[in-house]
């Protein structure tokens, strides 16, 4: 094996790492030892893995690495939200966001450099699409955030202020960053298995959430292979509107999406689906839209998370007024649907929902087309 092209051990879940170690003639317990060092301890230095045999450490130094993405910018919002811009090569960079709260800390993880789905109100989608992230690049966001937040906590005078969930700073992970997670299914599931594995991060399935725009076949695969909490980016109450706002709806319309949600709940760790709904002034926020939603989800145990639109340049949308959001929520609540309105976090560093853009070398040429369209309109 060439030392110029070492294997990144962050790419493996426990089964994959056991198989790779078997190829070296090593027993399964050695793989689990190394996995605990990598993920429990955040260790990237094989020499520091003191209970691993010296001969194996020497071999690993020659043929393997523990290499997360490299942070190129670290931004902290006035509300404590922290956003990292991470270099993933070839002039592409993705964003990862940590949201601290009183009783939990949530990490928002990206799955793609850009996004091919082109949802109308999402800054990521307007950047176009370059590629899927590897499993190492996905789980590496959690690895890196754990290390950076742990170092910050250890330097703080008041250690308790940063601790969550019995000392765990990051207690929840949401696949809601850049990209459509289920369009990068295999790599995302490898990362999910690491998040759940007791040899790695040991998170509860209830504390790991995948957000999808509604790729129905992949929702079924996720249910069968690695069911975690599910969030669906809904954003519209009828097919005509959703076709415009969330174009994947043209392939998997609302009736198919609702049926997939019902199937998913047969194995989900939570007994409800979370529907995310961005509030766009004069577009999807009327009383009629709210009543259509009540009818749409009547057979799907669910809760709604209303998201005040977070502006970005040339979006073409405005945030619904606070009173309109309140009225919309009250219609859902009166129908017996648990409904919350998401508090905007990190918008002063463009870390709020829908604002993540990163740096994308767009293979879809979407950015060029958008520029041409703006020039024609002007």
| Secondary structure element (H or E) that encloses residue 106, with its range | strand 105-108
- For the chain, the first-to-last Cα distance in angstroms comes to 57
User: CA 324 to CA 263: how far, in whole Å?
Assistant: 33
User: CA 373 to CA 149: how far, in whole Å?
Assistant: 43
| Catalytic residue, candidates 95, 137, 180, 276 | 95
User: CA 259 to CA 263: how far, in whole Å?
Assistant: 6
| Secondary structure element (H or E) that encloses residue 72, with its range | strand 70-76
Is 353 one of the catalytic residues? yes
List the structure tokens of 177. 């960053």
Is 95 one of the catalytic residues? yes
List the structure tokens of 328. 């919309």
List the structure tokens of 269. 């760790």
> 3-21: buried (b, 16+ CB within 10 Å) or exposed (e) per residue?
eeebebbbbbbbebbbebb
How many beta carbons lie within 10 A of that of residue 39, not counting itself?
23
| Catalytic residue, candidates 108, 115, 119, 353 | 353
User: Which CB contacts under 8 angstroms, 24+ apart, belong to 198-206?
Assistant: 199/14, 199/32, 199/35, 199/36, 199/39, 199/40, 200/13, 200/14, 200/35, 200/36, 200/38, 200/39, 200/40, 201/39, 201/142, 203/171, 203/172, 203/173, 204/269, 205/229, 205/269, 206/269, 206/270
Give the 3-state secondary structure of residue 359: strand
Could you give the residue numbers annotated as active site? Answer: 95, 353
């Amino acid at each position: 094996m060439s030392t110029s092209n070492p294997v990144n051990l962050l790419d493996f879940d426990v089964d994959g790492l056991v198989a790779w170690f078997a190829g070296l003639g090593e027993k399964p317990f050695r793989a689990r030892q190394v996995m605990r060092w990598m993920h429990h301890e955040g260790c990237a230095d094989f020499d520091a893995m003191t209970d691993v045999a010296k001969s194996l450490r020497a071999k690993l130094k020659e043929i393997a690495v523990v290499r997360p993405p490299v942070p190129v910018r670290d931004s902290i919002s006035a509300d404590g939200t922290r956003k990292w811009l991470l270099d993933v090569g070839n002039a592409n960079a993705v964003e990862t966001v940590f949201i601290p709260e009183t009783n939990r800390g949530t990490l928002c993880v990206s799955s793609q450099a850009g996004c091919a789905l082109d949802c109308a109100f999402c800054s990521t989608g307007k950047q176009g699409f370059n590629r899927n992230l590897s499993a190492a690049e996905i789980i590496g966001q959690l690895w890196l955030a754990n290390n950076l937040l742990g170092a910050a906590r250890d330097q703080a005078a008041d250690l308790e202020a940063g601790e969550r969930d019995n000392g765990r700073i990051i207690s929840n992970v949401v696949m809601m960053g850049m990209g459509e997670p289920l369009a990068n299914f295999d790599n995302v599931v490898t990362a999910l298995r690491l998040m759940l594995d007791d040899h790695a991060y040991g998170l509860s399935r209830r504390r790991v959430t995948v957000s999808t725009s509604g790729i129905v076949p992949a929702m079924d695969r996720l249910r069968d292979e690695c069911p975690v909490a599910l969030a669906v980016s809904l954003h519209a109450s009828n097919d005509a509107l959703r076709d415009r706002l969330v174009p994947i709806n043209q392939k998997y319309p609302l009736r198919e999406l609702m049926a997939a949600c019902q199937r998913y709940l047969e194995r989900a760790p939570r007994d409800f689906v979370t529907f995310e709904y961005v509030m766009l002034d004069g577009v999807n926020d009327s009383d009629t839209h709210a009543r259509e939603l009540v009818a749409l989800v009547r057979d799907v145990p669910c809760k709604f998370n209303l998201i005040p639109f977070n502006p970005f340049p040339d979006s073409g949308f405005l945030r619904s007024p606070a009173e309109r959001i309140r009225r919309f929520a009250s219609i859902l609540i009166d129908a017996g649907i648990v409904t919350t309105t998401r508090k905007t976090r990190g918008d002063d560093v463009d870390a709020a929902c829908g604002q993540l853009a990163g740096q994308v070398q767009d293979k879809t040429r979407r950015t060029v087309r958008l520029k041409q369209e703006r020039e024609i309109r002007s």
